[in-house]
Amino acid sequence: MASHRRPKQPSRTRVTVLTATAAAAVALSSQAAQADPHQSKKDVKSEVDKLYNEAEQATEKYDGVKEQQDKLQKEVDDLQDKVARGQGELNQLRKGLGAVASGQYRSGSIDPSVQLFLSGDPDTYLEKAATLDQLSGKQAEQLKTVADKQRRLAQERAEAASKIKDLTETRKALGDKKDEIKGKLGKAQQLLNRMTAKERAAMQAEENRANRSNERVNLGDDVPASQRGAAALAAAQSKIGSPYVWGATGPSSFDCSGLTSWAYQQAGQSLPRTSQAQANAGTRISSQSALKPGDLVLFYSDLHHIGLYAGNGQVLHAPKPGAAVRYEPMSNMEFAFGVRV
């Protein structure tokens, strides 16, 4: 029998994440000019860091919308497949009634109950037929099955239409958030382009030193929060040096919550996608002194940044565009609280 499963529609929302190098291409290098003499390298770096921070805030929102979109897409696909299968089953029921009608027509009479097949309104016919006592028990059961199937199909089609509307709105929100991130990164690159080559080289050297800090960091001898926390931290440590890419969840590049969710997945624990959602993934720890290696660490009042506590006041995280997964002193950021998964 032919399959009535509806083929999957290709997702039009699959978004290609931009690496820091691709983001840099947003600004045309030909437009680069000498740095504003009234704006120091320190001022430029401060403004660039601010834009990167805003881009990360937008990235966490993007991740949340993307997760919602993926969930809706699956629900839509499942509903559409269900409708297609239901329609196939209904067609088979109608085909059976049609065979009965054909046989009765050839014998010179059509049972009034079989008129259902031609009427297209099983509920109305059932009411009339029941009043006239024209249906046998078996016929009534068959006709009720068709009527119930039609009602369920109508409900499922309505539900699918509602989900498709939600999906369309979510796709637009995703596109808007993507544009916001690209805009922030583009503005940051424009500021960098206004610096002299010497100033840019000095700033890059500073970033390189921060990335190399992993070679000499002292993590102390704290006992991990749990065996699972130790496994998650070990997984994240294996990705030191991997680039920050917004929207990325590994295994070769990450954003901040992408790294923590990937690390815990390797330890056998599923975490929500965004830092705000991961904040509710376990027991909150308000004091930095109570943190143990493997605990999640949230930063800033809106919880838009997250990492893994590594010990001795160090956090292992995917910091920002242009940076690599690395250790960094927690004191460099605004600590909110920790979470023991």
Residues 168 and 250 in one domain: no
Token reading at 248: 């990325």
Q: What predicted TM-score, i.e. pTM, was given to this entire model?
A: 0.66
For the purposes of burial, counting CB atoms within 10 Å of the CB of 177, is it exposed (0-12), middle (13-18) or buried (19 or more)?
A: buried
The answer to whether position 35 is within a domain reads no
Contacts of 31 (CB under 8 A, 6+ apart): 190, 193
Band of residue 83 on the pLDDT scale cut at 50, 70, 90: confident
Say yes or no: 183 and 64 in one domain: yes
Asked if residue 239 is part of any domain, the answer here is: yes
301 and 256 fall within a common domain: yes
**Quick check: is 3 in a domain?**
no
Q: How many CA atoms lie within 13 A of 147 on its CB side?
A: 16
Residues 54 and 184 in one domain: yes
Q: Answer yes or no: 304 catalytic.
A: no
| Given the residues 4, 38, 304, 305, the one annotated as active site | 305
**For residue 24, is it within any domain?**
no
Number of folded domains in the chain? 2
* Torsion-angle region of 222 (φ positive above 0: left; ψ -120 to 50: alpha; else: beta): beta
> Do residues 83 and 188 both lie within one domain?
yes
pLDDT of 131 > 90? The answer is no
Place 44 in a pLDDT band, splitting at 50, 70 and 90: confident
174 and 234 in one domain? no
Kindly state whether residues 181 and 49 are assigned to the same domain.
yes
- Between these two residues, 6 and 293, which has the higher pLDDT value? 293
Q: Tell me, what CATH number does 89's domain have? A: 1.10.287
Q: Is the peptide bond before 112 cis (omega within 30 degrees of 0)?
A: no
Taking all residues of the chain, what is their mean pLDDT, rounded to a whole number?
A: 80
Q: Is the model more confident about 35 or about 241?
A: 241
Q: Of 63-77, 142-156, 312-326, where does mean pLDDT reach its minimum?
A: 142-156
Asked if 245 and 178 sit in the same domain, the reply is no
In a domain, 184, yes or no: yes
Per residue in 185-205, pLDDT (tens digit) is 999 989 888 888 888 888 878
pLDDT at 327 over 80: yes
Question: Which of the residue ranges 87-91, 210-214, 216-220 would you say has the lowest mean pLDDT?
Answer: 210-214
Give the pair of three-digit tokens for residue 280: 């509710």
Residue 14, domain member (yes or no): no
More confident residue, 208 or 180: 180
Tell me the CATH number at 252: 3.90.1720.10
SS3 assignment for the chain: CCCCCCCCCCCCCCCCCCCHHHHHCCCCHHHCCCCCCCCCHHHHHHHHHHHHHHHHHHHHHHHHHHHHHHHHHHHHHHHHHHHHHHHHHHHHHHHHHHHHHHHHHHCCCCCHHHHHHHHCCHHHHHHHHHHHCCCCHHHHHHHHHHHHHHHHHHHHHHHHHHHHHHHHHHHHHHHHHHHHHHHHHHHHHHHHHCCCHHHHHHHHHHHHHHHHHHHCCCCCCCCCCCHHHHHHHHHHHCCCCCEECCCCECCCCECHHHHHHHHHHHCCCCCCCCHHHHCCCCEEECCHHHCCCCCEEEECCCCCEEEEEEECCEEEECCCCCCECEEEEHHHCCEEEEEEC
- Looking at the domain assignment, is residue 205 inside a domain? no
Name the least confident of 50-59, 141-150, 329-338: 141-150
256 is an active site residue: yes
Of 4, 38, 304, 317, catalytic: 317
Q: Of the listed 4, 38, 256, 304, which one is catalytic?
A: 256
In a domain, 26, yes or no: no
Domain that holds residue 155: 41-194
Note whether 156 and 51 are same-domain residues.
yes
- Same-domain check for residues 106 and 142: yes
